Structure 1
Amino acid sequence: MTIREQQEQRERETLAVWATYADHSAGRAHPMEPCPYRTCFQRDRDRIIHSKAFRRLGNKTQVFISPEGDHYRARLTHTLEVAQIARTVARALRLNEDLTEAIALGHDLGHTPFGHAGERALAEVCPFGFRHNEQSLRMVDRLEELNLTQEVRDGIVCHTGAQKAATPEGRIIHYADRIAYINHDIDDAVRGGLIKQTDIPQYLRTQLGETHGKRIDTMVTAMIEYGMRHQEIGMDEQVHDNMMELRRFMFDYVYRGTAAQSEEARAKKMLRSLYEYFVEHPDELPGDYFVLMTQGEPLERVVCDYIACMTDRYSITVYKKLFIPKSWNKIEG
């Protein structure tokens, strides 16, 4: 038996009956010779980590645009926190931790620069619409051609929205994503002076916890206990309602109309300007994107691909190059 086959056998012996087994995967769009050392889901995790899209997450806004300070979350740190929470739940429920981690690491690969402000900007101008979960799937399928398993692809595109993932591991990410961003955004908002811990309604602090760590522990514990009782991914109604109420608090006091989003209008205007420019000047797109058009991809979609792949600072650099006059020195004599 190969090392991979030994691992697959251990999965069958140790994982729960409702887990997703690597040797039962629906496979890839383009068949590959199995790796002798890694299961298919471990291989997907590694492909995602080594992708260009994953590296770019370190320079993409999570919530706070151009924050001053070293400790605010970027899209990469959010992704790692989602993966940590999701793996904890998967391990406790004896689900497939490798599959869970792969989905978590890939779920935001298609996110734009400047976070949801950038997503809204592209959604407003692109005739095909723009949703970051769909763009994440397009990233792994079309732009980087990672040829991931069907289970990982399904978990990525279903991590948000009404459609539930087909696997319990994929459904974990839907909850882990919310648990992560609600709590780390509170942490960042307190650090930025936008709110104080005591601004959170008292009943939520009492029921969910007074600190970042206690709130996460409450929500993760609720997921684990629900899964053990029902062999399904979820959360008891009271904790879930409290979590969603905390999310509404964040929308009211942080995400909308605060100093944290004071740059959102400028960021959106900049990305719209980039979109309009490259739609009018497709010949100035980088070669890889121009090739997509020769393969039948609509121009507007390809321009969205290019902009969504940009980091915050690269989009600013391109904008300056295209729209900001350059300084010059008159040569005399």
Structure 2
Amino acid sequence: MTVREQTEQLEHRTLAPWAAKAAESRGRARKEEECPLRTAFQRDRDRVIHCKAFRRLKTKTQVFLSPQGDHYRTRLTHTLEVSQIARTIARALRLNEDLTEAIALAHDLGHTPFGHAGERALGSLSEGSFKHYRQSLRVVDRLEKEGLGLNLSWEVRNGIVCHTEGTQPVTAEGQIVRLADRIAYINHDIDDAIRAGVMEERDIPRDISGQLGDSKTRRITSLIHSVVDNSRDGLIQMDPGDFEAYEALHGFMYQAVYKNEYAKSEERKVPHIMESLYKHFQYPERLPEYMRRIAQEDGSSTAAMDYVAGMSDLYAVRTYSDLFIPKAWKEA
């Protein structure tokens, strides 16, 4: 018996009846020989961590564009916080941590430069068809490994594309990531907004703090307990009162931070940058070689959208500057 088979047997003995079992996965689009050491979900997690799109998350905006301080969140640190929260919940509920982690690490791979401002810009250029969660699935299915994709398991792919809105993920593990994403971003956005001087902890309405806690740590702990204590038989959910308080907190943050003119002042520049890059790279000869194949097979507009969406903030700004900002003439 291989190490992988022993792990699969251990999953059957120890995980909850409604947990996803690696041995029962619906499989991959392209069949592969099984690994003797790792289960299917372990391999998926490893593939995500080693892919290029994952590394680019380190210089992609979370909330504040190009922050100067060392301690603001990026899309990568957000992803790691989601993974940590999701794994804590999965372990408490005896669900599959490997699947949970794979989904969490991959859920934002398709996010654009400049955060949701970049996503909105590409959405306007594509008549609303661009969504980061669908792009995350496209990254793992089509764009990684120079057009071959990562060939992830069905359960991971379902969790990725269902992590934000619309249909709930089929697996309990995917449902966990969907809630963990919300728990993570609302709390680290508060932390970053306080660091930026946009708000203070005491600005949060008292009825919300009274329900969820008056610090980042207390709120995260409270919300994790709420999910663990109220989830049953594979249905992952919060206590209704806690969920109502969370929604109220989100509404507060929407007005205080997400729509704050001071915090978002630089975002007005994003649409022009994104549109300029998108139009420039609609000519396939301007794309890298592997993206030219995407352009040939999927269309030049799609390939341009893929390429611009995959850029980090720094690379997008540098590329825009190289293409459209005149260079100073140097003496011979």
TM-score, scaled relative to structure 2: 0.97
Shift of 1:322: 0.7
* Matched ranges for 1:116-155 at <5 A: 116-127=116-127, 129-144=129-144, 145-155=149-159
Partner AA of 1:268 in structure 2: P
Q: Which runs of 5+ in 1 are unaligned?
A: none
Q: Which residue of 2 aligns with 1:247?
A: 250
User: What SS does the aligned partner of 1:65 have?
Assistant: coil
Is 1:263 matched up with 2:266?
yes
- Aligned counterpart for 2:225 among listed residues 221, 239, 247: 221
* 1:119 aligned counterpart, secondary structure: helix
Residue equivalent to 1:98: 98
Q: Which residue of 1 aligns with 2:318?
A: 317
Partners of 2:18 and 2:233 within 8 A in 1: no
Aligned identity (percent) is: 55
Write the distance in 2 (CA, Å) between the matches of 1:57 and 1:122.
18
Q: Distance in 1 between matches of 2:22 and 2:234?
A: 19
> Could you tell me how far 1:330 is from its partner in structure 2?
4.6
Per-residue Cα deviation, 1:271-319 (whole angstroms, up to 9, x for no partner): 111112222x33211111111122x212111101000110000001110
Moved more, 182-191 or 120-129: 120-129
> Is the CA contact (8 Å cut-off) linking 2:20 and 2:95 kept in structure 1?
yes
- Unaligned segments of structure 2, at least 5 residues: none
Q: Deviations over 1:7-51 (max 9, x none)?
A: 000000000001000100000000110000000000000000000
Residue 78 (structure 1) aligned with residue 78 (structure 2): yes
Distance (whole Å) between structure 1 residues aligned to residue 95 and residue 252 of structure 2: 32
The verdict on how the C-alpha distance between 1:231 and 1:309 changes in structure 2, with shifts beyond 3 A counting, is closer
One-letter code of the match for 1:185? D
Q: Report the 3-state secondary structure (helix = DSSP H, G, I; strand = E; otherwise coil) of the residue aligned with 1:259.
A: coil
1:328 corresponds to 2:329: yes
SS at match of 2:298: coil
Contact 1:20/1:167 (8 A) holds in 2 = yes
Amino acid at match of 2:99: L
- Farther-moved stretch of structure 1 (285-294 vs 25-34): 285-294
1:112 maps onto 2:112 in alignment: yes
Task: Give the aligned residue type for 1:315.
Answer: A
How far 1:236 moved relative to its partner? 1.2
Shift of 1:128: 6.8
> Aligned partners of 1:291, 1:53: CA distance in 2, in Å?
18
Mapped pair 1:199 → 2:203: yes
> Conserved in 2, the CA contact under 8 Å of 1:126 and 1:301?
no
Q: Quote the RMSD (CA, aligned, Å).
A: 1.0
1:129 CA drift (Å): 1.6
| Matching residue of 1:290 | 292
Report how far residue 245 of structure 1 moved. 0.7
Please show how residues 16-27 of structure 1 align to structure 2 within 5 Å: 16-27=16-27
Per the TM alignment, residue 260 of structure 1 is displaced from its structure 2 partner at its CA by 1.6
- Please state whether the residue corresponding to 1:263 is helix, strand or coil: helix
Count of matched residue positions in the alignment of Structure 1 and Structure 2:
328
Contact residue 295 and residue 302 of structure 2 kept, 8 A: no
**Hey, what's the Cα distance between the residues in 1 that align with 2:261 and 2:199?**
10
Superposed displacement of residue 231, structure 1: 4.0
1:190·1:197 contact (CA, 8 Å) conserved in 2?
yes
Check whether the contact 2:295–2:301 (CA below 8 A) recurs between aligned residues.
no
Counterparts of 2:241 and 2:33, CA distance in 1: 47
219 and 28 in structure 1: CA distance in 2 versus 1, 3 angstrom threshold: same
Distance 1:303 1:80, change over 3 A: same
